[in-house]
Amino acid sequence: MIRIDSVTKRYPDGTVAVDGLSLEIPDRSITVLVGPSGCGKTTTLRMINRMVEPSEGSILLDGADIRQQPVNTLRRSMGYVIQNAGLFQHRTIVDNIATVPRLLGWSKQRARARAAELMERVGLDSALAKRYPYQLSGGQQQRVGVARALAADPPVLLMDEPFSAVDPVVRKGLQDELLRIQDELGKTIVFVTHDIDEAVKLGTMVAVLRTGGRLAQYAPPAELLSAPADPFVEDFLGADRGIRRLSFFPSAALELETAPVVPVDADATRIAASASADVPLLLVTDPDGRPLGWGEPKDLTAGRIATERLLPYGRPFVHGTDSLRAALDCAVLSPTGWAVGVDGDGRVVGVVSQQSIGEAIRAAHTAAHTDESGAAHTDKRVDKRVDKRDDDVRAAG
């Protein structure tokens, strides 16, 4: 969809914001630009819709040079979301969202109908339609900003640190909402952030930029974490990049134990049968199978377990859906060192120890390394076949 070809942005005072940048931004994906302050992330984003004009190089949109299009036409073909939403304070929420369709000549009725549809899509209550931006929370305003960017159904969505001004809980919700919307609509999204966790979570491809606007590495998140291109990228990813990499390994391979799980109304025989030296504590569940907490077998009174005396079970992970990183986090946060696995409805399907999770992590790393080595070996064999073919062609010539 977007090709950035040897683009440089040099200002009159000699400052180089972007230096010889080349990127192929794939269609229907989220490409994240990440890096330290002064690396040219926002400048690159703004060159795509010509809010900033490149000094050298070219940017192609679907094969056509963006400089061949009128600026206003180009910008209206792209959604644009910025930090703090940038809403018009004197317009209602529904009219904010309807801004671009109205500029494109849509009737007021059609534009407002589209706005109402998008409010539902981004998770906004329809009751907010006639309110003004100052009457909404920061997270709600950012949702309005996303809805406004999507209003004319543009193929490209540019997002400049849209979630950085909200608290971590709201930010996670907005990130999840963006991934859900992207799964439904399949836009070509260019997303700017300074947060590597956000980049890894959202990005199909991640471009790490150095100070001075030079590209350090461009790769899928899993490859970025497993094979940083150089010490700069490795330092930027941080000392816990190994933990981040676990986000790409599923928890489905974990073998859960069901023996240490007992219902709150378990009898003495069930409690005794569940207790073992390997699992000093038992996980007690309510009648619906949802976790209540951990308790020592000797403290569990058959038929009437005192739930108020149970140890907390921490945060459960959804087995098969969440990653090994989520499972490990649950085990670390648990006072027992055991993680609780649940199904999609929150019912316990088993428990797993930190030791078992560690073994699964080692196995996953070994398998990934084997796959990477195999791919490299295959590439070498292909290269040899190509070299042999070229030799045969030369000999025949």
Asked if 76 and 178 sit in the same domain, the reply is yes
The answer to the question of residue 370 being in a domain is no
The answer to the question of residue 68 being in a domain is yes
| Higher pLDDT, residue 253 or 308 | 253
Asked if 92 and 239 sit in the same domain, the reply is yes
* Total count of domains within the chain: 2
Residue type, 25: I
The answer to the question of residue 397 being in a domain is no
Asked if 325 and 349 sit in the same domain, the reply is yes
The answer to the question of residue 111 being in a domain is yes
Q: What is the pLDDT of residue 392?
A: 46
The answer to the question of residue 384 being in a domain is no
The answer to the question of residue 372 being in a domain is no
pLDDT tens digits, residue range 71-109?
988 998 899 998 877 899 999 999 999 999 998 899 999
Asked if 259 and 244 sit in the same domain, the reply is no
The last residue of one of the domains, among 200, 226, 248, is 248
The answer to the question of residue 128 being in a domain is yes
Asked if 244 and 300 sit in the same domain, the reply is no
**Beta-strand (E) ranges in 223-332?**
261-263, 282-285, 291-295, 317-318
Domain CATH for 167: 3.40.50.300
Domain CATH for 338: 3.10.580.10
Asked if 144 and 89 sit in the same domain, the reply is yes
Q: Measuring CA to CA, which residue among 47, 60, 64 is closest to residue 11?
A: 47
**Mean pLDDT, range 336-353, rounded to an integer:** 93
Asked if 118 and 238 sit in the same domain, the reply is yes
CB under 8 Å to 222, separation ≥6 — which residues?
245, 248
Question: Domain range spanning residue 265?
Answer: 252-357
The answer to the question of residue 392 being in a domain is no
Share of the chain above pLDDT 70, in %: 91
3-state DSSP assignment of residue 271 = helix
Q: 323-340 burial string, b = 16+ CB within 10 Å, else e?
A: bbbbbbbbbeebebebbb
DSSP 251: G
Please spell the DSSP secondary structure of 111-133, one letter per residue.
HHHHHHHHHHHTT--GGGTTS-G
Asked if 115 and 242 sit in the same domain, the reply is yes
Q: Which residue pairs, CB below 8 angstroms and at least 24 apart, start in 217-222?
A: 218/23, 221/248, 222/248
- 8 Å CB contact between 147 and 121: yes
Asked if 244 and 260 sit in the same domain, the reply is no
pLDDT tens digits, residue range 222-251?
899 989 999 999 999 988 888 888 888 999
> Using CA atoms, how far apart are residues 128 and 143, in angstroms rounded to an integer?
12
Q: What is the pLDDT of residue 212?
A: 86
Asked if 160 and 281 sit in the same domain, the reply is no
Position 390 confidence tier, pLDDT thresholds 50, 70, 90: very low
Position 367 confidence tier, pLDDT thresholds 50, 70, 90: confident
The last residue of one of the domains, among 194, 229, 248, is 248
pLDDT tens digits, residue range 267-292?
888 888 877 656 678 899 998 999 99
Asked if 236 and 279 sit in the same domain, the reply is no
Asked if 178 and 282 sit in the same domain, the reply is no
338 beta partners: 353
CB under 8 Å to 93, separation ≥6 — which residues?
115, 119, 124, 128, 129, 130, 131, 132, 133, 136, 144
Residue type, 160: D
Is pLDDT of 218 > 80?
yes
Q: 65-90 burial string, b = 16+ CB within 10 Å, else e?
A: ebeeeeeeebbbbbbbbbbebebeee
- 8 Å CB contact between 31 and 204: yes
CB under 8 Å to 371, separation ≥6 — which residues?
none
- 8 Å CB contact between 29 and 206: no
> Using CA atoms, how far apart are residues 17 and 306, in angstroms rounded to an integer?
64
